[in-house]
Amino acid sequence: MTVMEFESIMKIAAAVVAYIVFAPLLGGLLAGIDRKITARMQGRFGPPVLQPFYDVLKLLEKEPITVNASQDFFVGCSLLFMIITGCMFFAGLSLLLFIFSLTTASMFLVAAAYSSNSPYAQIGAERELLQMMAYEPMVLIAAISLYLVKGMSFNISDIAFFEEAPPGIILLPGVFVGFLYILTIKFRKSPFDLSMSHHAHQELVKGLTTEFSGKTLAMLEIAHWYENIFLLGFVFLFFSNGTILMAVIGVIVCLLAYFLEVFIDNVNARMKWQFALNSAWIVALTFGAVNMLVVYYRLFGGGV
């Protein structure tokens, strides 16, 4: 093993360890700021910024009460795959593997809801599957589009540090808008908090998490914190090109994108699942697919 290979492995290991350690801290902090901003928009003072951490610690201390043993297993697998997904992302591996791992984590969550035999949880699980059908096309379009403009590589490290092309946002504004649209689903914000919600306005009570409590619910919340961080990392890819300036701009845009979702959450009522599915596909086709085809013909002239 050469010195350069060893240094590369150590950088990847450091990035993975940093994600595992700091992602839940940053995710929980963002959730606390989210609650604070939401409260102020509603004319309330709101809980302290660290309240999400207090809530998770309290859940971890509760007596374990589960419907069956498989429920905890499935939720644990969902958390594990969320961590693995983020590790893949920050290790710079393939975007396709990243998407596959993210989908696997969601499927384990659906399986956990189905295992409870609760009608509320099962309807929430069905809506979760519908939401996956809504956002997956746009995620794939974003991955393929970045592949086209970033040196024909799906490796996240190549996409993030590719200096021979302008930042992805220059060529892919439509794809970026489409990805922001489905982030509302992934962040579980109104109007698309269909399968579960952090707010008390669900006719399904807590949707697929109705039968979750204690450590099980804590694991799910931590998984959501991990997920939010690597989703914002995906937003960062549209701006990163290996320069410090674009890295700073990318971080700022990630924060603005998150708080845009908070704003959308507070000014929209929850929509029906039909609207979520249809609108996500329409946005994917009109913004994402059209932008991708334009870039393809611009770069390759329609040739193979």
Separation in Å, CA 265 to CA 149, 164, 185, 223, 261: 32, 38, 10, 20, 6
For the chain, the C-alpha Rg in angstroms (whole number) is 20
pLDDT given at position 17: 94
pLDDT tens per residue across all 304 residues of the chain: 676 777 778 888 999 999 999 999 999 999 999 999 988 988 888 889 999 999 999 998 888 777 777 888 999 999 999 999 999 999 999 999 999 999 999 999 999 988 888 888 888 899 999 999 999 999 999 999 999 999 889 999 999 988 888 899 999 999 999 999 999 999 988 888 888 776 655 555 577 888 888 898 899 999 999 999 999 999 999 999 888 999 999 999 999 999 999 999 888 877 888 898 999 999 999 999 999 999 999 888 755 4
Structure tokens at 145: 């589009």
Question: Please, are residues 144 and 171 in contact by the beta-carbon 8 Å criterion?
Answer: no
pLDDT given at position 292: 94
Closest to 187 measured CA to CA, from 155, 148, 235: 235
Q: Which domain holds residue 175?
A: 3-300
How many structural domains are present in the chain? 1
pTM, rounded to two decimals: 0.92
pLDDT given at position 304: 43
